[in-house]
Amino acid sequence: MKTKSLKSKPFNQKPLFIIIAAIVSPQVYAEDTISLAPVVVTATRTQQNSFDLPVAIDVVEKKDIQDGQLQMLLSESLIRVPGITAQNRNNQAQDPQISSRGFGSRSSFGVRGIRVYVDGIPLTMPDGQGQPGVVDLSAIKSIEVMRGPFSALYGNSSGGVIQLLTEDAPKTAEIGGSVMFGSDNTKRQVLNTTGTSENIEYLLNVSNFETDGYREHGAGKKQAVTAKFKINLDEDTKLTTLVNWFDQNAQDPSGLPRTAVNTPTEKTPSAFDNPTGVTSAAVKADTRVSRSHTQVGFNLTHGLNENNAINATAYVGSRENEQILATNAVGTNARASVISREFYGTDLRWDNKGEVFNKSYSLSFGLNYGKSSDARFDTNILSAGLPVKTLNRDEDNIVSNFDEYIQGKLSILDNVDLHAGVRHTNVKLEVKDKFITGAGANGNNSGSVEYQKNTPVIGVVWKVTPTFNLYANYGRGFETPTFVEAAFTTTGTNSTPNLALKPSESRNMEVGAKAFISDNTQANLNLFRITTKDELVISDSLNGRTVYTNANDTKRTGVELSVDSQFANNISTYFSYALLNAKFDSDFTNSTVPPVTIKSGNYIPGTYKTQLYGELAWKYSPLGFSTAFEGRHNSKAYVNDTNTDAAPSYTIFNVRAGFEQKLASWSFSEFLRVENVFDKNYIGSVRVNDGNLRFFEPASDRNFLLSLNANYKF
């Protein structure tokens, strides 16, 4: 990701790095060059320079989150990170599709297989299901993205960790606002105030968003509030309170079948017959979602002395979600799925650092507990085109976890650090069925299942020179089924919970290199191999119900590369590349009717073999002008386990430009963003294994966004 500003002072000598071959010049350079890499907290839970970690971790900075962006979806900025797939579904009723090295690509709702945090407070429930839309990105200063084995130290997640960090309050008060206008009658307004009053730092961010949507039946609106208060109780003790709230209503245009999507040929160069279209089922059933979410988190840090500190995090919240789903192919039948959630949790950690045998070390010991309880109701609301109200599900879904972890670092040599850790995870899913009497009841389906696993990780970094590091790591991952995945055993009307699902277990290996190639370029390269047993995959998805099953073995191998350069005259470039071979590594038979055998060697659907992102940016300070040209390429993505259909590859380009002005205590900025400059028709995301064969979610054609911003410093 973009690093902090590179110093203009050149090195005494410039080494030549051929990155892939790891041919390194032996010269030693000034130690302060390493400070150019960003400092991160996610990998070790304490602040450390990312360059010195045996971990694939990238930082998306504030300017890449907010400048020239709508600031609504993580997919806007995470497309920069190699190894991360971040697809805008152009569907306000669904979170963006985010996966890490293929983990999470199967998710039908929310983000799955990746743990999401904001300021150390989880947005992921104990079962692994996360909703990153809780946080308004206009209040975020940076995003840390970690992939690989060390993510297992955050719990039952094999794919990675995404941590959003909110803005720090300035010493003097500020107030600001933004208005945005865009294609498809898109509007967004943001008001914020921040500052410090005596020993209290505060931030308040309020936003409103509404759009007609690119696709028919795709309108949506959302209001959000983010508030943070940091109380400096004394020099060693700080208490931070974070409040997140949002309320959203959105139509769901669903996916399109192959009959509405053409693969381009010479005779039919357009990729779509009906790119903005919607199925009649979505219109007739009026598919939509209404949700609200409130969460309050507390973080207390206290330094006991120069070598010891304690950290306590607690959070509590509630979520209401009502989804209207079509339950037949023509939309004459529909149901309302209502989930009312209450959740809470805590994390207690002791950090210790010092020296042993004249070698520096750091250790963190922690306990983690979380609980989420969903009151779930499914009601048939439409039958043969006529309104009805027939209850078909009434149950409580309760999930809890209790974990213990230890993580540490030891500098075994002056230029070699050893990192290691282990987490014991215990997750329990429990169903309390209340729909056991009356018409339509299907018996008592109450039950519970418990999963336990130790997930050790180890990594080593060799600091070959102050400007070149090599690292390697290994770890085991553990993913339990979420309640979304355990909801149904069949796609039938009276389906029961699927508590027979097994957790998936993975072995994750990675080697990598991090280098400052010259006084203006930093490069990161890693290679990985992941083998997984009992991978959780979609078996069938039909009429609003998705059934999951366990595959036997899967294997992921890949390469990730990023190169960040800053040149004279305020010109900068950024390039990232990811190669991912995510395949089934043995035959398995799914649970559809009739069952289908999936062959070894088939690609895991929803994954992209190749992804590239590039950016060329320029600033002209005398006029406060900045501009950038972006390019993105994704290879084709299979839409089902049998690999009989796929969304075609695509390449798109975006451009953004803006001005900044300062007038006394005021600062102003304006920007214009144009996406899909060459008006490419393409599939933005896919719906894996959809039983109605509505696999395809089209992306927007050429579209624009205009933003006007003002800020006043008191």
Q: Provide mean pLDDT across the span 209-226.
A: 94
Tokens matching residue 221? 């609106």
* Reported confidence tier of residue 262, pLDDT bands at 50, 70, 90: low
The predicted structure's pLDDT at residue 275 = 56
Q: Is 2 helix (H, G, I), strand (E, B) or coil?
A: coil
Tokens matching residue 82? 């190699």
* Four-residue CA torsion sign, 95, 99, 100, 106: positive
The predicted structure's pLDDT at residue 542 = 74
Q: Is the pLDDT confidence value at 265 over 60?
A: no
Query: What is the share, in percent, of the chain residues with pLDDT greater than 90?
Result: 72
The predicted structure's pLDDT at residue 281 = 87
In whole angstroms, give the CA distance from residue 247 to residue 222: 6
Phi, psi of 598 (to 5 degrees): -95, 130
Segment among 145-159, 313-327, 367-381 with least mean pLDDT: 145-159
Mean pLDDT, rounded, of the chain: 89
CA 466-470-475 angle, to 5 degrees, is 135
* Reported confidence tier of residue 94, pLDDT bands at 50, 70, 90: confident
Residue 632 identity: R
Q: Both ends of the chain: CA-CA distance in Å?
A: 33
Contact 590, 549 (CB under 8 A): yes
- Return all residues near 305 (Cβ < 8 A) that are at least 6 apart: none
The predicted structure's pLDDT at residue 9 = 36
Q: Is the pLDDT confidence value at 26 over 80?
A: no
In terms of Cβ atoms closer than 10 Å to its own Cβ (0-12, 13-18, 19+), residue 502 is middle
In terms of Cβ atoms closer than 10 Å to its own Cβ (0-12, 13-18, 19+), residue 593 is exposed
441-453 residue pLDDT tens: 778 888 999 999 9
The predicted structure's pLDDT at residue 544 = 66
Tokens matching residue 516? 């400052």
Contact 18, 561 (CB under 8 A): no
The predicted structure's pLDDT at residue 536 = 87
Q: Provide mean pLDDT across the span 371-376.
A: 96
CA 118-124-126 angle, to 5 degrees, is 135
The predicted structure's pLDDT at residue 300 = 97
458-511 residue pLDDT tens: 999 999 999 999 999 999 998 999 888 888 888 776 677 888 899 999 999 999
Domain 31-713: which topology?
Maltoporin; Chain A (2.40.170)
In whole angstroms, give the CA distance from residue 127 to residue 113: 10
The predicted structure's pLDDT at residue 157 = 76
Q: Is 596 helix (H, G, I), strand (E, B) or coil?
A: coil
CB atoms within 10 A of CB 224: 24
The predicted structure's pLDDT at residue 105 = 86
Phi, psi of 76 (to 5 degrees): -65, -40
Strand partners, 615: 574, 630
Q: Provide mean pLDDT across the span 219-247.
A: 96
Residue 428 identity: K
Q: Is the pLDDT confidence value at 404 over 60?
A: yes
Q: Is the pLDDT confidence value at 87 over 80?
A: yes
Segment among 229-243, 487-501, 553-567 with least mean pLDDT: 487-501
In terms of Cβ atoms closer than 10 Å to its own Cβ (0-12, 13-18, 19+), residue 111 is buried
The predicted structure's pLDDT at residue 363 = 97
- Return all residues near 594 (Cβ < 8 A) that are at least 6 apart: none
636-671 residue pLDDT tens: 999 999 999 999 999 999 999 999 999 999 999 999
Q: Is the pLDDT confidence value at 65 over 90?
A: yes
Whether omega before 264 lies within 30 degrees of 0, making that bond cis, reads no
669-699 residue pLDDT tens: 999 999 999 999 899 999 988 888 889 999 9
In whole angstroms, give the CA distance from residue 636 to residue 347: 41
Phi, psi of 637 (to 5 degrees): -130, 125
Q: Provide mean pLDDT across the span 161-188.
A: 96
Q: Is the pLDDT confidence value at 227 over 80?
A: yes
In whole angstroms, give the CA distance from residue 182 to residue 165: 27
Q: Provide mean pLDDT across the span 251-274.
A: 64
Within 567-621, residue ranges assigned H as helices are none
Tokens 């009356």 sit on residue: 438
The predicted structure's pLDDT at residue 276 = 63
- Helix or strand (DSSP H, E) at 78: helix 75-78
